[in-house]
Amino acid sequence: VRVEFLDYEVLGDYGWSLDDEDLFRKASHADLDDDEHGRLLVQPDESLLEGAENRGFGWPFSCRGGACANCAVYVVEGELSQPANHIMPDDLAERGFRLSCNGYPVTDELKIVFNVKHRAELDDLIL
């Protein structure tokens, strides 16, 4: 599964928003570091977080068990599964927020913004 990723902190630096339709196009044209924007391959038996870690990226996490939201990502394109046992509220899940520690890609391509734990909506979930 091909995953294109973008660090949420970059959005603040550039004044971009999660809703920007051309967010990833803008990211491609900005001079971002390899760990801020890029692509990685996630294997079928890897969660998104494991895939990132196994390719050498250090994305945020804490519990690794669906209980804290430190690992939260925002899905811009594609779909990431979400096991039943997790703390992400339905309204945030509907908007595209997922947990990367126990989320597995279910589409061949995925575009995600990682590091969204800094979003105000997720404040109450961070332990």
Instruction: Name the site residues for ligand FES (rule: CB under 6 A).
Output: 61-64, 66-71, 99, 101
CB of 43 to ligand FES, least distance (A): 19
CB of 98 to ligand FES, least distance (A): 10
Decide whether 11 or 49 has the Cβ nearer to ligand FES: 49
Asked if 100 and 91 touch (Cβ cutoff 8 Å), the reply is no
Q: How far apart are CA 95 and CA 109, in angstroms?
A: 19
CB of 5 to ligand FES, least distance (A): 16
Is the torsion defined by CA of 4, 8, 9, 10 positive or negative? positive
Residue whose beta carbon is closest to ligand FES: 101
Alpha-carbon distances, residue 50 vs 47, 71, 78, 100 (angstroms): 5, 11, 18, 8
Rg (CA), the chain: 13
Decide whether 27 or 101 has the Cβ nearer to ligand FES: 101
Decide whether 33 or 90 has the Cβ nearer to ligand FES: 90
